[in-house]
Amino acid sequence: MSGPICFYIPSHITDHIARSAGRLGLDAEAAQRTAVASAALRQQRRALTTTSLSAVTAPLPGKGDRQIFDDENRFETGVRLVRREGDEPAPAANVNAAYDGLGATRDFFREVLGRDSIDNAGLTLQGDVNFGDKYGNAFWDGTRMVFGNGDGQIFQDFTRDVDVCAHELAHGVTQYTAGLIYTDQAGAMNEAFSDIFGACVDQYVQKLDAGEHNWLIGEEVMAEQMYGEAIRSMAHPGTAYDNPVLGKDPQAAHMSQYVPDGDPHINSGIVNRAFYLIANDLGSFPAAKVFYAALLGLWPQAQFRDCAYLCAEQARILARDGKVGRHAPQTVRAAFREVGIA
């Protein structure tokens, strides 16, 4: 195992829920368990990850096959294999949603970006459903994508939104390419790349382009009474939610709001918005090609400026090859400048 553990719901939200759930008449125990389990996993991860060398060891070539496990509401992964590649649909909807979500993500990477699974060598895709007890989160643990059921009051099953699958799988891609560390600007980019590819897979599945998409992350995992809220907005970072349960979205939309040492999910808004601006000009998939090409050239401690420079450089190369519009380099530079990265 290698790389950081990457949670879908950041700690500032899980902590806020744990603090406010009892007062608001929600399932306080489930909220507390989620916060405690997430913190414990983070600690465990820190102890395990002094190096990420396993990510650079050549794996055995695979076919990008899917394996879905039912964790039977235990706080363990890989409990029972319930659906393999090519198997008939399982009785449980979330098993099939995870299977389909991982499949759509794999297909997007293959068809649009020319990448063969997480490691570009057909790595088997492992997904776990029913992790924990009313667990209100999803995460990539360095080898697999893990989904909780949510408590049904704040969050629903995390397999419900394909951008969760895509977001977590993209953390795997980042781990096997740039290997961006999970702090400061590199960490924020790590998160942004996951949101970017997550939003693109959402559009790939729904057959939408930039102008038609809502650019919301996680809106489908919100429970009925939270309808209309989302976890992040790529178009307008900092506006995704504002309510007594989740608190107020603290995401930064511009470098002037950058939080030094801030959670990667907060500062990621700056790069997310740059991508949104670029996608609205070039189209989402051409923009994804630019960012993917940049990701292949980034490195663990890279900064926002490195990303901006590489995106413009890759836009120039892709434009020369007729893969994106001729004005792509200028669009990329203008977008990064608009969010304060120049």
Binding site for Zn ion (CB under 5 A): 6, 191, 194
Min dist CB 167 to Zn ion, Å, is: 5
Instruction: Tell me the residue nearest to Zn ion as measured from the CB.
Output: 6
Q: Identify the residue whose tokens are 């603090």.
A: 19
Closest CB to Zn ion among residues 191, 263: 191
The burial class, CB within 10 Å (0-12 / 13-18 / 19+), for 51 is exposed
Residues pairing with 39 in the sheet? none
d(CA 22, CA 27): 7
The residue from 167, 168, 191, 229 that is catalytic is 168
Min dist CB 120 to Zn ion, Å, is: 20
Q: Please tell me the total number of residues recorded for the chain in this structure.
A: 342
Structure tokens at 8: 């879908």
Closest CB to Zn ion among residues 179, 329: 179
d(CA 137, CA 277): 29
d(CA 187, CA 192): 9
Closest CB to Zn ion among residues 55, 328: 55
Closest CB to Zn ion among residues 189, 282: 189
The dihedrals phi and psi of 147, each to the nearest 5 degrees, come to -120, 130
Residues pairing with 131 in the sheet? 148
213 is catalytic: no
d(CA 235, CA 273): 6
The residue from 167, 171, 213, 265 that is catalytic is 265
Q: Would you please indicate which residues are annotated as catalytic (active-site) residues? A: 168, 265
